Amino acid sequence: MAVYGYARARVQPALLAQEIQLRAAGCDTVVSDMASSRELRDGWQRLVEAAITGDTIRVVGWSSLTGNPTEYRLTVRTLAARGVRVEALGGPPPF
């Protein structure tokens, strides 16, 4: 069971800060995308494809996944159906 971290930010300093937080939180591997929420996120796609039952994907905040509540719920449910847990260092989502 692997613990993956996923970081997404628009600028390098913010991305690096997230990567540091995720490694400190016990992530074995950290995958990142320097992109806005609307841009293609190759790192995220590779991570979702690699995650298997029993794995955890950890993010610093829920906005790393999406700012859209509907898309967030769909993402978490889809991964949960595959046995992949999603969690945020910042606690539960605000929606």
Domain coordinates in residue numbering, the chain: 3-88
At 38 the pLDDT is 66
**Exposure on the CB side of residue 58, measured as CA atoms within 13 A:** 23
pLDDT by position in tens, the chain (length 95): 999 999 999 999 999 999 999 999 999 999 999 987 666 789 999 999 999 999 999 999 988 888 788 888 999 999 999 999 999 998 877 76
Closest CA to 43 of 1, 75, 68, 8: 8
pLDDT value at residue 39: 67
Q: What is the model's pLDDT at position 37?
A: 63
Sign of CA dihedral 61, 14, 20, 48: positive
> What is the 3-state composition of the chain as percent helix, strand, coil, each rounded to the nearest 5?
40, 20, 40
- For the domain 3-88, what is the CATH superfamily, name and number? Resolvase, N-terminal catalytic domain (3.40.50.1390)
What is the distance, to the nearest Å, from the Cα of residue 24 to the centroid of all Cα atoms in its chain?
A: 15
Three-state DSSP at 41 gives: coil
